Structure 1
Amino acid sequence: MSAAAAVGVALLGGLFGVAVPPLARRFTHSPARPRRPRSAAAPSHRPRRGAWVWRGPPVSAAVFGGLAVARCDDPALPVFLLVAAVGLVLARVDLACLRLPDPLVLAAGLLALAGLTGVALLSGEPARLLGALTGATVAGAAHVLLAVLPGSRLGFGDVKLAAALGLPLGWLGRDALFIGLLLPHLLHGGLVVGLLVARRVRRDTLLPLGPALLAGAWFAILLG
């Protein structure tokens, strides 16, 4: 891919970044329910005002541009870009209200599965599709185990997202899958420690894992 094409993809990402907030806003409010007293044990899913300021265009441009440069020779690049687009909306929603809506996670998974299936058939590489399915199975199973551990704060939205991201990671091979499974938890753990030291959060504060899963997968794809 030429430098001009990579810049064009980055600019496309920047334009998409402008659309991320209104797209995410459709998913940041839960359906209306009968009013009931709030419980400390049941945190609200309403958006946390001021919790995060969206820097959409620069972030989206970096995500798209990085993929274009790193995976320029991979016929699956358009699939990675589509999954990244959905992932940016998911990250925005999770940071705003600690939710990973099933429709968005399902869209990411279906885009990855359909896109990689098409690429595998057109390029005559069915083995890579098997690798993608294996990656989804391994990633999903690993996060199910983490979710059922005593005291785990891992939600099943995170499990489903990990399985969806396992498709492109498995497509790239074992090393990318390993990095994509390990790196998100290192990133999340480092962030939690830093916020605790800075006294920005407490030990019982719930923090979203979705952005770390997406960032870890992005780095893994760049390195894969």
Structure 2
Amino acid sequence: MSVGLVTSAALLGVLAGAGAPPIARRWTGVAGHRAGLAAVGGVACAGLAVALGADPALPAFLLVAAVGLVLAVVDLACLRLPDPLVAAAGLAGFAGLLVAALVAGTPGRLLVALAGAALSFGGYVLLALLPGSRLGFGDVKLAAVLGLPLGWLGWSTLGLGLLLPHLLNGVVVLGLLAARRVRRDTPLPFGPALLAGAWLAALLA
């Protein structure tokens, strides 16, 4: 693990976190807290650098994380995952992994990543279509985008990345219900749980 690499990733995350509220304001209409998001971004990107090290795919993960910060802010503020932002995360992830596959000479790994994205998309489509499901198709699209880097890390990491968001969301919902902050029928964002679950799965890969 390179201290310089981790420090550089953390600084990138701080900048991404600080820049997320102004970008998100286009969709939310409200300003966020730059200081808190800067810290979150720094921790998120530093964690990825520690987990992946000198893997040529690290830039792809950092780019997806940077866009993910904006998506989390928007979803928390107005229960939306705008298509342009989701598409930006997907394009950044694919471009980064394509370069990584060419640099490392592992095109097969990119195919597995694409299969991971397809599997995530299909799985979440089925979940969204279940009676009583509260998943939106923004969540489905984001799951597909996150399935791409998770698939790059392997099938076990992909499976963990698909499971953890539901566990994390369940804990948050139970806590909010216990504190009487929400009711059973209160709509809640799922995008932050998707992003956090994918991040944790990458750390545990």
* TM superposition score category, shorter chain reference: over 0.9
Cα offset for 1:4? 3.0
- Deviations along 1:86-144, whole A, 9 cap, x unmatched? 00000010001100000000011111112211211221101101110110011011100
Instruction: Give, in whole Å, the separation in 2 of the partners of 1:176 and 1:114.
Output: 21
Cα offset for 1:166? 0.4
Match of residue 157 from structure 2 = 176
State the superposition RMSD in angstroms. Answer: 1.5
The answer to which of 53-62 and 149-158 deviates more is 53-62
Instruction: Trace 1:125-144 onto structure 2 (pairs within 5 A).
Output: 125-144=106-125
> Structure 2 vs 1, CA of residues 178 and 100 (structure 1 numbering), >3 Å: closer, same or farther?
same
Equivalent position SS for 2:202:
helix
Cα offset for 1:53? 5.5
> Structure 2 vs 1, CA of residues 53 and 15 (structure 1 numbering), >3 Å: closer, same or farther?
closer
Kindly tell me the number of residue pairs found equivalent between the two proteins.
204
Match of residue 15 from structure 1 = 15
In the TM superposition, structure 1's runs of 4+ consecutive aligned residues that sit over 4 Å from their partners are none
One-letter amino acid matched to 2:10: A
Instruction: Trace 1:61-72 onto structure 2 (pairs within 5 A).
Output: 61-72=42-53
Equivalent position SS for 2:27:
coil
One-letter amino acid matched to 1:68: A
TM-score when normalising by structure 1: 0.87
Match of residue 172 from structure 2 = 191
Q: Which runs of 5+ in 1 are unaligned?
A: 30-46
Mapped pair 1:91 → 2:72: yes
Instruction: Trace 1:53-132 onto structure 2 (pairs within 5 A).
Output: 55-132=36-113
User: Is the 2:16–2:69 Cα contact (8 Å) retained in structure 1?
Assistant: no
Instruction: Give, in whole Å, the separation in 1 of the partners of 2:21 and 2:125.
Output: 30
Please identify the structure whose Cα radius of gyration is greater.
Answer: 1
Q: Which runs of 5+ in 2 are unaligned?
A: none
The answer to which of 147-156 and 109-118 deviates more is 109-118
User: Is the 2:28–2:74 Cα contact (8 Å) retained in structure 1?
Assistant: yes
Instruction: Give, in whole Å, the separation in 1 of the partners of 2:179 and 2:33.
Output: 19
Instruction: Give, in whole Å, the separation in 2 of the partners of 1:215 and 1:206.
Output: 19
- Aligned residues with identical type, % of pairs: 65
Match of residue 163 from structure 1 = 144
